[in-house]
Amino acid sequence: MSQGGLLVVRGLSVAFKTQKGTVQAIDGIDLDLNENETLAIVGESGCGKSVLGHAIMRLLDDIAVVRGSVLFRDKEVYEMETTALLNLRGGLISLVPQSPSSSFNPVIKIGKQIEELIEKAGKEKGIGARKRAVEYLSMAGFSQPEQIYESYPHRLSGGMCERALIAMALSVEPELVIADEPTKGLDALSRKNILGMLHKLAKDASMIMITHDLKAAETCGRIAVMYSGEIVEEGPTGIVLNNPRHVYTKGLIDAQPSRGMKPIKGRHNLFSHNALGCRFKERCDAASSECSNHPLLNIVEDCRKVRCCHA
């Protein structure tokens, strides 16, 4: 039965069995994304943002134990055969990966790599694919796109690599873009340019922007705040950031440079969380005896959810 929406994620959990024990990277994630919607996923390093992005595309290592469901246009991603899966990853959903410099093949020119993806996605062939690759490099802000087309990846700076990766991801006209930390390591001006360009190129697509940067998150319509593998607050970005209801969301806002960089006390540690209680309670000034029960992600007002018994 159709559940509607472009992407419907239900109860998605990913565990990695390591020598140190089991890492529950994400745990019971529910998400809905409609066409043309932009969703920011924020949270401290290690909270499971990239694993969630990769799990949506079924791009995890074999050691990952995945539970739950990911429906893309009503089709279960975890039941897709190879052809459908390649079609999903090569065209319908595009990933802008977290590490720009290691995401290109170092021995193939940038343009050729973009061209190959365009051809694999069945969008254009030969000269048409080349033309499209140059066009997307130009749209990504390169004033001499032909020169970038002919460059090997090591010739590009981090910011240029990020732009080329965005051009590549968008050149196949995906229905969903998953951009993982698109502003990481960039100065304020480059950050603003990249975000403007990303939204412009993705104007006909839906987007999940994974970021630790709340300024970047502000450019998305909705926000989901993750802590220790779970979503702890979700809603329209402006409302959540102007009036956070979870202590962790407040902490993330106060930790931003524009708010004085006040650190959140304690450390995020996936191994130490107690699945029976609130995972944030050791770091929370508002914690009480009620927090030894694991809180649900409750609807607190229109379009807004919070996982805290005090919210």
Stretch that binds Mg ion, among 6-14, 24-32, 43-51, 238-246 (CB under 5 A): 43-51
18 binds, among ligand ADP, Mg ion, none (CB under 5 to 8 A by kind): ligand ADP
**What is the residue type of 132?**
R
- Tokens (6 digits) for 237: 């970005």
Q: Is 50 in the site for Mg ion (CB under 5 A)?
A: yes
Q: Strands 222-227 and 230-236: what pairing?
A: antiparallel
Question: For residues 298 and 311, is the Cβ–Cβ distance under 8 A?
Answer: yes
Q: What's the min distance (Å) between Cβ of 51 and ligand ADP?
A: 3
140 binds, among Mg ion, ligand ADP, none (CB under 5 to 8 A by kind): none
Question: For residues 104 and 166, is the Cβ–Cβ distance under 8 A?
Answer: no
Q: Which is nearer to Mg ion, 133 or 208 (CB)?
A: 208
Q: Which is nearer to Mg ion, 44 or 218 (CB)?
A: 44
Cα torsion 111, 183, 237, 271: sign: positive
Q: Which is nearer to Mg ion, 44 or 173 (CB)?
A: 44
Cα separation, 12 vs 69, whole angstroms: 6
Q: How many CB atoms lie within 10 A of CB 186?
A: 20
DSSP string across 122-149: TS--HHHHHHHHHHHHHHTT-SSHHHHH
Q: Is 183 in the site for Mg ion (CB under 5 A)?
A: no
201 binds, among Mg ion, ligand ADP, none (CB under 5 to 8 A by kind): none
- Tokens (6 digits) for 224: 């989901």
Total residues binding Mg ion (CB under 5 A) = 1
- Tokens (6 digits) for 185: 């390591």
* Angle at alpha carbon of residue 32, lines to 28 and 36, rounded to 5°: 150
Q: Which is nearer to Mg ion, 31 or 110 (CB)?
A: 31
Q: Which is nearer to ligand ADP, 191 or 268 (CB)?
A: 268
Residues binding ligand ADP (CB under 6 A): 16, 18, 23, 25, 43, 45-51, 61, 270
219 binds, among ligand ADP, Mg ion, none (CB under 5 to 8 A by kind): none
25 binds, among Mg ion, ligand ADP, none (CB under 5 to 8 A by kind): ligand ADP
* Site residues for Mg ion per CB under 5 A: 50
